[in-house]
Amino acid sequence: MAKFIIKFSRFLNNSALNVSAALMGLMALLVFYQVITRFVFGAPSAWSEISARVMMVWMVYISMGCVFSRGSMISITFFVEVLPDIFGLWVKRVVTIIALIFLGVLIWYGWDIAVRVKNQNVAMLNISAFWLYISIPIGAVLSIPSLLEWHILNVENKPEPADLKITKTAEV
């Protein structure tokens, strides 16, 4: 089961990074278009700025799982390091449970707000606000396998399956 979770998480993360990169490229084009229409033609585009904002929101929530899988969440490791190993292990387990509960809250309330605003339109785009707010529960659902992957590899210290090992490359 652990191998499946790791494989599935990595597939989701690679897909999320590719989609996020595409959204980043589209955002750059839209902002460039906005600058050209505003400062060159003197007639700013009404839809390009809000479209770039919507893409930014989607990009953040889609790639949220990548942060979990890399263990890049904001953490205070001092307390865990001061505790004896067994207590530190249980603190990490509790933190994983709290993070899962938080993702559950994002799913529950994100869906609730998306449904509540489905009859409202996003200004200048004339699309339902549902399509903006649905990014919250979708991003939370996509983050769960990544959080579980991090937990399996870093808290439970299960060895990474040989066929899934990532070789280190130059870091940025």
- For 96-151, the pLDDT digits (tens) are 999 999 999 999 999 999 999 999 998 888 899 999 999 999 999 999 999 999 99
Confidence of residue 95 (pLDDT cuts 50, 70, 90): confident
The residue length of the chain stands at 172
| Mean pLDDT score across all residues of the chain | 88
Report the 10 Å Cβ neighbour count for 144.
Answer: 19
Q: Which residue has the tokens 């707010």?
A: 133
Q: Which residue has the tokens 């505790």?
A: 83
pLDDT at residue 36, rounded to an integer: 94
pLDDT at residue 91, rounded to an integer: 86
Task: Say which range, 34-38, 50-54, 90-94, 129-133, has the weakest mean pLDDT.
Answer: 90-94
Confidence of residue 161 (pLDDT cuts 50, 70, 90): low
**pLDDT score of 172 more than 70:** no
* More confident: 80 or 163: 80
Q: What is the mean pLDDT of residues 42-65?
A: 92
pTM over 0.75: yes
From 6, 4, 3, 1, select the one nearest 149 (Cα to Cα). 6
DSSP for 117-167, please give it. TTTSBPTTT-SBTHHHHTHHHHHHHHHHHHHHHHIIIIIS-PPPPGGGPPP
Taking a C-beta distance cutoff of 8 angstroms, is the pair 106, 61 a contact?
A: no
* More confident: 161 or 56: 56
pLDDT at residue 89, rounded to an integer: 85
pLDDT at residue 168, rounded to an integer: 52
